[in-house]
Amino acid sequence: MRTLLYLLDKEFRQFFRDPFMPRMVLIFPVMIMLIFPFATNMDFKNINICIVDNDNSNLSRQIASKIDHSSYFILKKMPSGYQQALSDMNRYGLDIILEIPENFEKSIFRNESIELSITANAVNASKAATGSNYLAQILSSTFAEQSALKGLENPQSLITVRNLYNPTENYRYFMIPALMVMLIIIVCGALPALNIVKEKEAGTIEQINVSPIGKITFTFGKLIPYWIIGIFILSIALVIAKIMYGLSPAGALWIVYANAFLFTLAISSFGLIVSNFSNTMQQAMFIMFFFIMIFVLMSGLLTPISSMPEWAQYITAFIPPRYFIEIMRAVYLKGSGISDIYPEFVRLAGITVLLAVAAVASYKKQS
């Protein structure tokens, strides 16, 4: 334990000796949290939808068929009731619920007013708004076609949309929890990747190699400082999200920090693995930049994983940011508890253990 404390003291002294690093840790999250939420936009396909058909008429089945054949929607199932559909929305990741009332077809042909209910999962506000608009267009075109066939005027239709979890459809609320993850990726991934390589180039790593310090002690002496830095950066981001955007977790804050501890350890371990296999800082920077781009593009941060090709979705299963982003959005917007995010938590914990073990195993003590 005393050896580990000496190593930690050495790492923090090196960190604060560089005037640039402490300033970067303070300024970087502030700049990202203030600028990035205003600079993103998205388009969506493969929107998961279910239909609660209380009419069971030819017209309602035609609507279901049109939705099923649309390139924008994936018709998941036809639940027996609205409450079951709401339960399935949380359980199976549904994006939209369309409820067709009883006597729907009769009302159409009697030219009576019609009320359809569209319930959208607005955790992803942009996806909810886009999906609701696509669905409204399909319904309007179907009403017009049926009215033309029957020689009737277009019926008066009233479609009500209710957005769950993000009622105002504020896209920033969807993006900000993921931005916090990106901050940890960049800082706690890049800095450890450069750490050991810097000592290799300076020659100070040789003193460690010939010392009796064990591999596990040495590795955790490198990991723990960035673990602490990652939690510090997350705390800054949480405060900015609250002050600037009025966004705070709907769920328990301890769940955010518990998963942040895991994720920070995972991404720092990955950075050390890159550092152990690199001989120069240029190599480490290039390799880490490549993987950071993969993490950002394939973690669901900018684009939904469901819209990716099938082969890409399989790859995302091995990317730790995917699970932490899902956890952050669920806790922030849905108020999810530990039981709700348990599958993502277990996968994140498993990947963290594998990366930590790999970080220890990849360090070779040799003079």
pTM over 0.85: no
Per-residue model confidence as pLDDT tens digits over 40-65: 655 577 889 999 998 888 888 888 89
pLDDT of residue 12: 82
C-alpha–C-alpha distance, residues 99 and 81, integer Å: 9
pLDDT of residue 367: 45
First to last CA, the chain: 25
What is 112-168 written as a DSSP string?
Answer: --EEEEEEEETTSHHHHHHHHHHHHHHHHHHHHHHHHHHT-PPPPEEEEEEEES-TT
Q: What is the DSSP letter of 39?
A: S
Which has more pLDDT, 146 or 247?
A: 247
Placement of tokens 């300033």 in the chain: 23
The chain-wide mean pLDDT, for the chain, equals 85
Q: Could you tell me the domains of the chain?
A: 2-39+171-362 (no CATH), 47-164 (3.40.1710.10)
Q: Using CB atoms within 10 Å of the CB of residue 290, give its burial: 0 to 12 exposed, 13 to 18 middle, 19+ buried.
A: exposed
C-alpha–C-alpha distance, residues 179 and 186, integer Å: 11
Looking at residue 248, its amino acid is S
Q: How far is CA 330 from CA 35, 90, 170, 321, 325, in A?
A: 23, 10, 15, 14, 8
Q: What is the DSSP letter of 203?
A: T
